[in-house]
Structure 1
Amino acid sequence: MKQTNNSTKLGNEPIGKLLRDLSVPAMIGMFVMAFYNVVDVLFISYGVGIEAVAGLTIAFPVMMIMMAVSAAVGIGGASVISRRLGENRHEDANRVFGTVLALIVVMSVAGLITALFFLEDLLVLFGATPDILPYSYDYMFPIMLGTVFFAFTFATNNIIRSEGNARFAMVTMVIPAILNIILDPIFIFALDMGVKGAGVATVVAQGAVSFFILRYYVKGESSLRLSWTSVSLRFSVVKEILSVGFPAFVQQASGSLMMIAINAMLIQHGSDMHVGVFGIIQRIMMFTVMPMIGVMQGMMPIVGYNYGAKQFARMRETIWLTLKVVVACSIGVVFIMMAFPALSMRIFTTDPLAIETGTTAMRIMFAGFFLAGVQVVAGGLYQALGKPIPALILSLSRQIIFLIPLVLLLPQYIGITGVFLAFPIADLLSFILATFLLYRDRDTILVKGKQEQQGV
């Protein structure tokens, strides 16, 4: 199997250029995906109505679970593959890829069975009422039938990035987003399919990019070789993939639990307006955290490859540069949010009370955001090194270990402000935990260890 320049450059190119080349495409792809999510809701809101939007809101946790499983397989497989490539074990890397494809087949079958037999009950379990259940079902049924496309694109996106081809990974995110934006009004309005049209448009877009990715592997443009004979469930490899990818699954799945807890406290101690304000701030937070996640995703294949190649100096240079960049990004975000919170709210609403409430809430919630970058980098670092336990702890720390308990506890004493105050406190506690783990493992990861100094 050949090793293309995409993977060899991870061990050769200057770290600054390499990190930029891998991070910027990841950020662009995520920005486009985020923009699509906003536009998608706008089309359904204007084309069908607010009940349809509620139906999508109920259906979204089901979609999040599907995405979380795909991300776990993709990130876990990417971590294992990048280390195999760094160790010059190309055939082993190819076998890992075959195992990832086998897991995608399993997920696809599970999605098909869920769509045909369990989807309605699942949506009711997630809170669908008789009025909005038809909208939820119409949107999710075609998406669940198309699980194979979602699983393939989400998983391979991480693997493509793991071999250093961040530009193509970005393209695989941009193409379905643009197609979806184009197809939504056609299916929703022109073909009068309503919510079902939005679901069909999403599947068509993911199916199109799946064939684009398949062509990439078939034409030999990857460091990995697509061979159907290698598609099998090797349980030792499955265990390694899932153990590394499990933190990513937990991180995404915990987001739905966090939203449930926050919404419950906002309604109990505030009003529906507070829920709306929080929804706006969540969208703003989604955009502000993307630069840090993009840099972290750019860091992971460099760290994984050089760790496997025992090029520890390059690995440490990458980690320190990443930390500097994300800290600078987070400080810049805090400055903007503190200086212009009302302007940010006016992008989404003209309600004076919502703007006033959101301005106060935003300043509280972003107060500790300058600390968030260290936790983001530490979580990605341990995933890249194939250390699942600290990666799992860090992925759980902010939302599950700290934020949800604080959200449930603080409002009992200080009312609605407690919900917003939970965020900077959780940021501080997560920062302390990440710093502790990085300091504990500072030998090799951050500084030259004793064995390395002695030439062992």
Structure 2
Amino acid sequence: MAKISSEALGTQPISKLLIQQAVPASIGILVMSLNMIVDTIFLGRWIGPLAISAITVVIPVTFFIGAIGLAVGIGGSSVLSRALGANDQDKALRVFGNQVTLTFLTSALLASLGLIFQDYLIEFFGADDSFKEYALTYYRIVLYGIVMLSLCMMGNTVIRAEGQPTFAMIAMILPAIGNIFMDYVLINVLDYGMEGAAWATFISYAICFGFIAWFFIIKSELRLSFECFKLKQKIVKEISGLSFVTLARQATISVLTILLNNVLIDYGDALDVASYGIISRMLMFALFPVIGINQGFMPIAGYNYGANKYERVRETINTSIKYGGILAVVIFTVIMIFPESFVSLFVSSKESLDAKTLADNAEILKRTPSALRLVFLATPVIIVQLIGSAYFQAIGKAIPALLLSLTKQGFFLIPLILILPPFFGVLGIWIAFPIADVLSTILTGYYLNKEIKNNLTKPDGFISS
């Protein structure tokens, strides 16, 4: 049955396939982002806004190490999808085995270095004395489990590449539910504060790792032998070339977050860092269906490109942009109308809180809604940039995929964040987001349209030399 489901990527109607792939991915992302939202709400309400500032500065390093798995997963799964499309089962197995080995070795090395240099890194990421101890407490414990997270992120992309999006969804839902439950017990009931929040996150990683290990042992069509785990230069090179695209994008996001934290401290204060922490979680939460469309798009495009079914690839691009665009407009409308309602979830107005915490909460409610509106201002057009960069990665064209995936954060947003704040202060940071979205969409749309005209007008079954 698993084999049939992967073959279905090349035969079933594109709209049906996209829904089958995107809905579970969207639900998984929704639950995962709800987990981050609830986690942040618990911290803000039960510990205070500075706890939000603390996890915001920790995210870049944990995000980057965890993203090793995502990078190897997406890059390798592009190779794996095309191997399945070409009915090359042996290559698919070797690719997956090499993905596991690469993810484990790389993430373990980086986690070790992260623990050795923890004091330096926390300060480099933008923590000041007002919340540094909170950040260190969270950082140390979460890093103990980061290898599990990295393997989970890798395994999840492989599950989708097999044509099993429902299991990929479950792998995201289970740890999210576990984290929310453990947050409540460890922070609210047992009053362990930041330490409780960190251990809840660690436990969620373990839950996800356990489920994904079960899937590949019991359910997967990819039955690995010991030989598959041995690194092969040709396969590693192919995986790495495409993985570098995702890794570079994730590294750029980490650099961006570090830069944002430091610029916000320079032109604002710790509460502006907390505002960004809220906005960054809202970005993932609100955009979950658009990201789901993007994730659902990749295995369909990769499989059909590997099978030389170019008309189906074109249809996949058009359908994904259409559906994603409609969803993006709905999200934009809701955010523009109700920003205060979303921000108010993260702070408490209970009179039992001390005077400083109440004052901080009031200031967060004052600053954040307008910033949220500005950051989401160009939401209706972002699907073109997402699908464009994902397309080149799905078909194995690493250099265009790398350059296009870096357009928003690397080529536009980082320079704008350096240029605008000296003139506009913290406001310059928020207006940099929509400007970067528009510029990156224009550039990506141009190259995607050129690619379609030049390389996707070949007849189905044609194999380029």
* Length-normalised TM-score, structure 2: 0.87
Report the alpha carbon displacement of residue 177 of structure 1 after superposing the two structures with TM.
Answer: 0.7
When residues 428 and 453 of structure 1 are mapped into structure 2, their CA distance, relative to the original with a 3 A threshold, is same
Q: 1:19 touches 1:295 (CA, 8 Å); kept in 2? A: yes
Report the alpha carbon displacement of residue 262 of structure 1 after superposing the two structures with TM.
Answer: 3.7
Alignment counterpart, residue 383 of structure 2, candidates 367, 373, 390: 373
* Match in the other structure for 1:449: 458
Give the Cα separation in 2 of the matches to 1:268 and 1:170. Answer: 40
When residues 129 and 269 of structure 1 are mapped into structure 2, their CA distance, relative to the original with a 3 A threshold, is closer
Give the Cα separation in 1 of the matches to 2:463 and 2:228. Answer: 41
Report the alpha carbon displacement of residue 359 of structure 1 after superposing the two structures with TM.
Answer: 4.8
Q: 1:323 touches 1:374 (CA, 8 Å); kept in 2? A: yes
Q: Deviations over 1:1-52 (max 9, x none)?
A: x962221111121111110011011111111111111222343445555555
Alignment counterpart, residue 423 of structure 1, candidates 419, 430, 433: 433
* Match in the other structure for 2:442: 432
Give the Cα separation in 2 of the matches to 1:179 and 1:332. Answer: 30
- Gapped regions of structure 2 (runs ≥ 5): 350-360
Report the alpha carbon displacement of residue 357 of structure 1 after superposing the two structures with TM.
Answer: 5.1
* Match in the other structure for 1:398: 408
85-94 or 395-404: bigger deviation: 395-404
Counterpart mapping for 1:200-279 below 5 A: 200-219=199-218, 221-269=219-267, 274-279=272-277
- Gapped regions of structure 1 (runs ≥ 5): none
Please state whether the residue corresponding to 2:406 is helix, strand or coil: helix
Instruction: State the Cα RMSD in Å.
Output: 3.0
Count of residues paired in the alignment: 453
Give the Cα separation in 2 of the matches to 1:136 and 1:359. Answer: 25
Amino acid at match of 2:139: M
Counterpart mapping for 1:178-189 below 5 A: 178-188=177-187
* Match in the other structure for 1:69: 68
289-298 or 272-281: bigger deviation: 272-281
* Match in the other structure for 2:113: 114
Alignment counterpart, residue 290 of structure 2, candidates 292, 295, 298: 292
When residues 7 and 61 of structure 1 are mapped into structure 2, their CA distance, relative to the original with a 3 A threshold, is same
When residues 92 and 424 of structure 1 are mapped into structure 2, their CA distance, relative to the original with a 3 A threshold, is same
When residues 294 and 455 of structure 1 are mapped into structure 2, their CA distance, relative to the original with a 3 A threshold, is closer
* Match in the other structure for 1:307: 305
Please state whether the residue corresponding to 2:457 is helix, strand or coil: coil
Q: 2:49 touches 2:271 (CA, 8 Å); kept in 1? A: no
Q: Deviations over 1:86-127 (max 9, x none)?
A: 111111000001101111330353156336644344334434
Q: 1:86 touches 1:306 (CA, 8 Å); kept in 2? A: yes
When residues 416 and 204 of structure 1 are mapped into structure 2, their CA distance, relative to the original with a 3 A threshold, is closer
Q: Deviations over 1:281-336 (max 9, x none)?
A: 33333223221111010010011111111111211111110011112122223333
Alignment counterpart, residue 318 of structure 1, candidates 310, 316, 319: 316
Report the alpha carbon displacement of residue 345 of structure 1 after superposing the two structures with TM.
Answer: 4.2
When residues 361 and 142 of structure 1 are mapped into structure 2, their CA distance, relative to the original with a 3 A threshold, is closer
Alignment counterpart, residue 281 of structure 2, candidates 277, 280, 283: 283
Q: 2:53 touches 2:270 (CA, 8 Å); kept in 1? A: no
Give the Cα separation in 2 of the matches to 1:273 and 1:119. Answer: 23
390-399 or 249-258: bigger deviation: 249-258
270-279 or 6-15: bigger deviation: 270-279
279-288 or 25-34: bigger deviation: 279-288
Q: 1:334 touches 1:369 (CA, 8 Å); kept in 2? A: yes
Q: Deviations over 1:210-235 (max 9, x none)?
A: 2222222222x222112233111212
Please state whether the residue corresponding to 1:161 is helix, strand or coil: helix
Q: 2:56 touches 2:277 (CA, 8 Å); kept in 1? A: no
When residues 118 and 353 of structure 1 are mapped into structure 2, their CA distance, relative to the original with a 3 A threshold, is closer
Q: Deviations over 1:183-233 (max 9, x none)?
A: 2233345555443333333223322332222222222x2221122331112
Give the Cα separation in 2 of the matches to 1:418 and 1:202. Answer: 33
Give the Cα separation in 1 of the matches to 2:388 and 2:148. Answer: 31
Amino acid at match of 1:307: Y
When residues 123 and 418 of structure 1 are mapped into structure 2, their CA distance, relative to the original with a 3 A threshold, is closer
Amino acid at match of 1:448: T
Give the Cα separation in 2 of the matches to 1:24 and 1:428. Answer: 27
Please state whether the residue corresponding to 1:441 is helix, strand or coil: helix
138-147 or 234-243: bigger deviation: 138-147
Counterpart mapping for 1:77-92 below 5 A: 77-92=76-91
The answer on 1:27 being equivalent to 2:37 is: no
* Match in the other structure for 2:396: 386
